[in-house]
Structures are given as structure tokens and as C-alpha cells.
Amino acid sequence: MALGGAGTEGRVAVRDLVKRFGPVAAVDGVSLDVAAGEFVALLGPSGSGKTTILMAIAGFEFPTSGRVEIGGEDVTWAPPNKRNLGMVFQRYTLFPHMSVVENIAFPLKMRGIGRAEREAKAQAALATVRLEGYGARRPSQLSGGQQQRVALARAIVYRPRVLLMDEPLSALDKNLREEMQLEIKHLQQRIGVTVVFVTHDQTEAMTMADRVAVLDRGRLQQVGAPRDLYEAPATPFVAGFIGETNFLPGRAKAAAVAGAPVAVALDGGGEAVATAVGAVPAGVAVRVAVRPERVALSPPSADTLPGTIAEAIYAGVATTCIADIGGDRRLRARIAAGTGLVQWEPGARVGVGWRAEDARAFAAAP
Ligand SMILES: Nc1ncnc2c1ncn2[C@@H]1O[C@H](COP(=O)(O)OP(=O)(O)OP(=O)(O)O)[C@@H](O)[C@H]1O
Ligand SMILES: [Mg+2]
């Protein structure tokens, strides 16, 4: 079943979007392009502006300044019902007194579509979300995951060009949530609709989205494929928010251009190497960011930082070692199981190190 996402119809663009609520800039100059048929997640902590951006795309909030375009058309001031979007929210928003199939057919009824066609389309949408045979039930007779699938069927039944979802899975338990993440992703790929999906769960964003837009305090930090965000975070916020990161403050020993290795004299003693994220002037304050799985532990040597294992936390697939490197600094190193690597015990003296390409140096904002 091909729905309306293909071509340029399903493109979404947000341009220099600002939304103020009194003194608060909930959205502070965000620009974002979503291609037709693309799945983009808006990811950020609570209060970072995710819902406000989605509401501006939907037409439920009007921006203080900036523009919203759908299918190349400026819809900034168009009412929601003129935008041809589907929406699914966190809470189940089904009508309790209607059957499942009546719920799904409701948007078609609002559009003046006849009974037989409504029924056929609602049944097809029900099949799309794998709920054939549940049409006669009331929403209260369904599980949480089934209710969200009905909400999804209702949102796609009239073939919207864009589907907007705001934390649609957050009320579900972990297993069902993971199952639904893949189910929604596969459905989206099958029908080719453009999706803008709000979540504060980084694993969910990485699992589902083609690209993830990371927000902090109303500002866009970085937009990229999950792998790029993880491997090449553009800001310390992204490095800290996506996955786990060790941060070590220090000073650049020499200048480095973006992408070049830079030697850093660490606050608290010792020296480390990292890849410069932007241009790093000599002597400037930097933060070195390195992932726990990129930290290597070895017997002490001249070119590693001397440390002592404070804790070794066994978790089946990997063991996390916390190494004390003095000066009140602790680094996490993750050692995968079954790799034949040494499993260090608390109290062991170790050398801590990493390759320059596995760590990133962020110059402090001037
Ligand atoms: N109607 C409103 N009136 C005043 N302030 C608002 C309003 N809506 C949102 N805000 C503020 O704007 C900021 C962004 O809110 P928003 O709901 O977009 O965040 P969010 O990223 O969706 O957060 P969450 O993950 O908690 O849902 C917050 O500081 C919030 O308090
Ligand atoms: Mg929100």
C-alpha cells in the first residue's frame, strides 16, 4: 500500500523557528529539513522544545518568528486541518464509546467519505497495523500496545503526507516498546510516509530514525545519522547525551586544525591525545571526550596514564572497570566479554590509554 509520502509532497522544512512563551524561548532559532519518506527523530531532554517544534509543524502552535513548509508550501499560518498530517500522541486518544473500526474510520467520516469506502479503508488500515479481527472491540478491551496501533491506523487511514508522533510509546513497558519501535519503523518503510518522531529516549531515536536531531534548551545541537552522532558528536552536549562518555578537562599543548590530533595537558596531571573537533588554538581550555569501550587498560607504561582499578562491574556482555587516575578523576573502561582481554580486578595497577582517533577534543566556548 503506497501512501502519500513519496515525491516532494512529504517534505517538511522548519526555517529559523523561534517560539517564546513570555521570557522563555522554548524554540530558539531551529532550522531543519526532512526529506519525503524520511524518518527523523527529535531527541532531547525534558523541556528542550521537542513538542513545541512538533506543534508548530502540526499547526497547533504558531511561531513567534520563522516558517514551516510542507511539500514546499508555506503553511506557517495554516490551520491544522489544512495541512494533511497524521498525529499520534503519548496518551491513547481513542474515543472510548466507539468500536476500533469506528475510531479508525472517524477521520474519513469527518472528510465526508461514504460508509462502504470508510469501512474498507478502515479494515485495510487495521490490517496494516496487524490487528485484523479486532475491529468490533472497544478500546478498553485492548492492551496498551494494541491501542497505540489503533491510534496509528487512525492517523494513516486518510493517507497523510506526514506523520507526527510525540512520545507514542512512552506509556508502554520495555518489551512491548521495543517491539513497537521496530513495528512502526517497518510500517513507515512499507508505506513511505514522512515521519517526525519526538522522544527523549536516545536508544529509541537511534533504533527508529534515519536521522536524529538533537536539541538542548531550544537549540539544535546536531542533526545526523545515528552512527555519525555516536562516532562524531559535534558538541560536548551531544557526546554526553548520546551513549556514555568520559570527559577530562585540560589545555591544548599546541594548536591543531579540525580533525587533526592534539596533545592535551590534563588538569590534575598527565597527558592525552584526542582529535580536534573544531580548530583548537594553542593553550586553550579543552574537554577530552572518550567512550568507555574505546579506553584500553594495560599494564602500566610510559605512554599511558597511571591508574588503579577502583571497581569492576560485571554485567554479562561486558565488564565496566572504573579506573582512578588521581586528582579526583575516574574513567570508565568497558571490556567486552569473550574477547580474551584481561579482566582486571579492583586494586590492580593499570595503564589507561586510547588512540587519538577514538577521543575528541572540544575547545571551550570563547
Ligand atoms: N504553553 C506554554 N506556556 C508556557 N511555557 C511553555 C508552554 N509550552 C511549553 N513551554 C515551555 O517551553 C519549553 C519547551 O517545552 P516542550 O514541551 O517543547 O519541551 P519537550 O522537549 O517536549 O519536553 P518533554 O520531554 O518534557 O515533553 C519548556 O521550558 C516549557 O516549560
Ligand atoms: Mg514533549
Tell me, in angstroms, the distance from the centre of ligand 2 to residue 47's CA: 7
pLDDT (0 to 100) of residue 91 = 77
Say whether pLDDT at 101 is over 70.
Answer: yes
Nearest C-alpha to atom 18 of ligand 1 is from which residue? Answer: 49
The domains located in the chain, with CATH, are 12-236 (3.40.50.300), 247-363 (2.40.50.140)
What pTM was estimated for this model as a whole? 0.91
pLDDT (0 to 100) of residue 150 = 95
Ligand 1 binding pocket (C-beta < 6 A) is 21, 24, 26, 44, 46-52, 200
Tell me, in angstroms, the distance from the centre of ligand 2 to residue 58's CA: 14
Tell me, in angstroms, the distance from the centre of ligand 1 to residue 171's CA: 19
pLDDT (0 to 100) of residue 277 = 96
Cα distances from 187 to residues 133, 134, 183, 192, 196, in angstroms, run: 19, 19, 6, 8, 14
Report the mean per-residue pLDDT for the chain: 93
To the nearest 10°, report the CA torsion of 359, 363, 364, 365: -130
Tens of pLDDT, residue by residue over 167-185, are: 999 888 888 889 989 999 9
Nearest C-alpha to atom 27 of ligand 1 is from which residue? Answer: 46
pLDDT (0 to 100) of residue 4 = 44
Tens of pLDDT, residue by residue over 310-365, are: 999 998 889 999 999 999 999 999 998 876 777 789 999 999 999 999 999 999 87
Please report the sign of the dihedral spanned by the C-alpha atoms of residue 207, residue 52, residue 224, residue 241: negative
**19 CA closest ligand 1 atom index:** 12
Nearest C-alpha to atom 16 of ligand 1 is from which residue? Answer: 49
Tell me, in angstroms, the distance from the centre of ligand 2 to residue 43's CA: 10
What order do you get walking across the sheet with 65-70 strand by strand? Answer: 24-34, 12-21, 65-70, 73-74
For residue 215, which of 242, 178, 188 has the smallest C-alpha distance? 242
Collapsing DSSP to helix, strand or coil, 310 comes out as strand
**215 CA closest ligand 1 atom index:** 21
Of 9 and 218, the one with more pLDDT: 218
pLDDT (0 to 100) of residue 209 = 98
Tell me, in angstroms, the distance from the centre of ligand 1 to residue 46's CA: 8
Tell me, in angstroms, the distance from the centre of ligand 2 to residue 223's CA: 19
Say whether pLDDT at 5 is over 60.
Answer: no
**49 CA closest ligand 1 atom index:** 18
Q: Which residues have beta carbons under 5 A from ligand 2 (an ion)? A: 51
State what percent of residues in the chain have pLDDT above 70.
98
Mean pLDDT of 49-68: 97
Pocket test for ligand 1, best of 19, 30, 42, 48 (most atoms within 8 A of CB): 48
Nearest C-alpha to atom 1 of ligand 1 is from which residue? Answer: 21
Nearest C-alpha to atom 30 of ligand 1 is from which residue? Answer: 47
β-pairing, 285-290 vs 246-252, is antiparallel
Residue 2 pLDDT grade (very low, low, confident, very high; cuts 50, 70, 90): very low
Pocket test for ligand 1, best of 52, 54, 91, 214 (most atoms within 8 A of CB): 52
Nearest C-alpha to atom 31 of ligand 1 is from which residue? Answer: 47
DSSP-assigned letters across all residues of 32-87: EEE-TT-EEEEE-STTSSHHHHHHHHHTSS--SEEEEEETTEE-TTS-GGGS-EEE
pLDDT (0 to 100) of residue 1 = 41
Tell me, in angstroms, the distance from the centre of ligand 1 to residue 98's CA: 32
Say whether pLDDT at 6 is over 60.
Answer: no
